[in-house]
Structure 1
C-alpha cells in the first residue's frame, strides 16, 4: 500500500536509517539529510506527490556550482529510488532528472603569500586548522574530526589517522610542528564543538577563510599541499595516497605542474 504521509521528516529519517544500515559514514548521512531537508523547505507538500517538474525547477536554482547541483541530484536520486522500491511512492520522480556535467577542474593552490598572511593573523586554534590544510592536505570535514587518539607514533615519526570521505582512513605523516601542537592539546577532539562533540566542517572552513585573503579558501590550501608534495618527489601516486583520492585523475586536478617542468617541455621542442 502506498504511504501518503505528508511528513518529510519521517520520510527522511527512514531513508537515513536505511543508508546507515548500509554502513554509510556519518558525514554522508549529514550531507544527504541536509539536501533533502532543503528540498522539503523549497518544494513542500507531500514527498510522495512530488513530480519531476517540481524537482527540475528546484535543481534549476541559479547561482549553484555544478558540483553542488550534482551532489543534490545524487541525494534526490537515492531518496526516490529507495522510496519507489520500498512502495512509498508509485513513481520515481527523480528517474528523469537531467545529469549534471561538472567541468574538469584546474589546480588552484593558494600562494605562499596567502598562507603567510593566514599564519600571521590566526589565533592558536585557527593556526592549527590552517596548518593541517596547508601542510597535510586535509579537507574541512577531516580537520573537524581530528582527535587525540588519532595521533600515533610510527617508526618514522608522528602520523595522523585521517578519517576521510566514504568512511576511508589513511595515515598521514605529520611535520614536526603540527605534531607538537596536536600532542599539546587535551585528550579528545582537537576542535571541540556542541554538535557531535566537534566543530562542523562548515565552521572550520569559515574560520580558515577569515584569516586568508580573498579569494583563497581551505580547499585551495589543500591544492597548495598537493602541489608542494608533488614538487618534492614528482610522485603523483604518493600525492594521491596523501590526499585520500580514489583516482589519480582527481589528484591531477589538484596538482599544479612546476614552472620549470613546463619550461623544460617547451625548450625540448626547440630543434
Structure 2
C-alpha cells in the first residue's frame, strides 16, 4: 500500500448512489449535505466532479452504517479499509480503488478540519498503487498530418472548417483541457503576445503561450469564420457551435476523434490525448518539468512527471531499434 496517486487530470470515479441520504441515519445525511455545499461553494468543483465525490462518500457512509456507525465520529480506519476491501472483492481495478481512497481521505480531512470528528482516520489510509500506464500520444509527424488534413478541408473557407482548425491548433499548441478550451472567451486571447488566459481547475487562472500556426488559425477563425456563426445571444464565447451557441465539450471530442481517425497509423485519442501529446513533445524538445507544469496547470509536479515515462519509453524503443548491441 502507498499514498494515493495524483488525480488532477482524471475525475473521481462516478458512482450512481441511491438518492443521497435515503438509507443513511440523519447525522450522516446531514454531513453529506454539508459536504456537498463545501464542494460547490468553497472548492468550486464542476457538477460532474461533485456528483462523483458524493457518490464515493455516500457509498463509504452506507458501508460504515452497516458496520454499526451512526455518527461521523464513528468512522475509523477499520471501516475505511473494510470499505475498500469490499470493493476490491467486487473486482474493481486498482486505479478505481486508488481514486476512491483519495475521495475518502479528502472527506475525512474535511471532517477533521471542520471539527466534526476528533481525529482524521483517513490520514493513515493507504491506496493500492495504480499501474503506470503510458498515455497514447501522437508522433510529431502525426500531429502535423492531423492539422494539415483539417486545414485542407477548411480551404473552402467554411466557418466550421476554420473553427475546427483553430481548435485543433490551440489544443495541440497549449495542451489545455477540453473544458478550458470550450470556456474561452474572445477577450481571453492576447494576439499581440500570443498568449491565452485560461481558467483551470479550482478556477485557477494561468497564462499559456501559443505559436504562429495557432495564431494564424485563430485569426482566420475570428476574421472570417466566427462572424458567420455568431447569432444574437452568442455572447463572448471564442468557439461557437453550428447554431451560434458556445461549443460544448462533446462536439470537440467528436471532432478530435474523427480527424485523428483520418491520420494513418495514429492512435485513437481525444482532446486529452492531444494534451498528453503537447506535454510529451515539449519535454522531448527540451522543456523543463517546472515549465511544463505551469503550462498544463498541474498543482503537483508529480502529475507532470508521468510524461517523462513516455519520453523514456520512446528513447528505450529507439535504442533497441537502432543500436547494434542493444
TM-score normalised by length of structure 1: 0.66
CA deviations 1:77-125 (Å, max 9, x no partner) are 2224434665767997756644132344546422343663575489545
**228 and 107 in structure 1: CA distance in 2 versus 1, 3 angstrom threshold:** same
The within-5 A match list for 1:126-165 is 126-154=164-192, 157-165=193-201
Residue 240 of structure 1 is matched in structure 2 by 293
Residue 228 of structure 1 is matched in structure 2 by 281
Deviation for aligned residue 1:254: 2.3
The within-5 A match list for 1:175-214 is 175-180=214-219, 183-184=222-223, 185=226, 187-190=235-238, 204-205=252-253, 207-213=255-261, 214=267
The within-5 A match list for 1:57-76 is 57-58=86-87, 62=91, 64=93, 66=95, 68-76=96-104
Residue 205 of structure 2 is matched in structure 1 by 169
Q: Which stretch of structure 1 is more off in the superposition, 172-181 or 40-49?
A: 40-49
Is the Cα–Cα contact under 8 Å of residues 7 and 46 in structure 1 kept in the other structure? no
**254 and 85 in structure 1: CA distance in 2 versus 1, 3 angstrom threshold:** closer
Q: Which stretch of structure 1 is more off in the superposition, 86-95 or 219-228?
A: 86-95
Give the CA RMSD over aligned residues: 4.5
**206 and 56 in structure 1: CA distance in 2 versus 1, 3 angstrom threshold:** farther
**87 and 230 in structure 1: CA distance in 2 versus 1, 3 angstrom threshold:** closer
Whole-angstrom distance in 1 between the partners of 2:60 and 2:258: 30
Residue 38 of structure 2 is matched in structure 1 by 18
Residue 5 of structure 1 is matched in structure 2 by 26
The residue matched to 2:307 in structure 1 has which SS? coil
The residue matched to 1:170 in structure 2 has which SS? strand
Is the Cα–Cα contact under 8 Å of residues 151 and 182 in structure 1 kept in the other structure? no
Deviation for aligned residue 1:227: 3.2
Is the Cα–Cα contact under 8 Å of residues 6 and 46 in structure 1 kept in the other structure? no
1:102 aligns with 2:130: yes
Is the Cα–Cα contact under 8 Å of residues 137 and 222 in structure 1 kept in the other structure? yes
Q: Which ranges of structure 2 fall in alignment gaps of 5 or more residues?
A: 1-23, 155-159, 262-266
Q: Which ranges of structure 1 fall in alignment gaps of 5 or more residues?
A: none
Is the Cα–Cα contact under 8 Å of residues 5 and 46 in structure 1 kept in the other structure? no
The residue matched to 2:54 in structure 1 has which SS? helix
Size of the alignment, in residue pairs? 254
Structure whose alpha-carbon radius of gyration is higher: 2
TM-score normalised by length of structure 2: 0.57
Residue 157 of structure 2 is matched in structure 1 by none
Greater helix share, 1 or 2? 2
Is the Cα–Cα contact under 8 Å of residues 84 and 92 in structure 1 kept in the other structure? yes
Is the Cα–Cα contact under 8 Å of residues 55 and 94 in structure 1 kept in the other structure? no
Deviation for aligned residue 1:6: 7.5
Is the Cα–Cα contact under 8 Å of residues 146 and 259 in structure 2 kept in the other structure? yes
Greater strand share, 1 or 2? 1
Deviation for aligned residue 1:137: 0.8
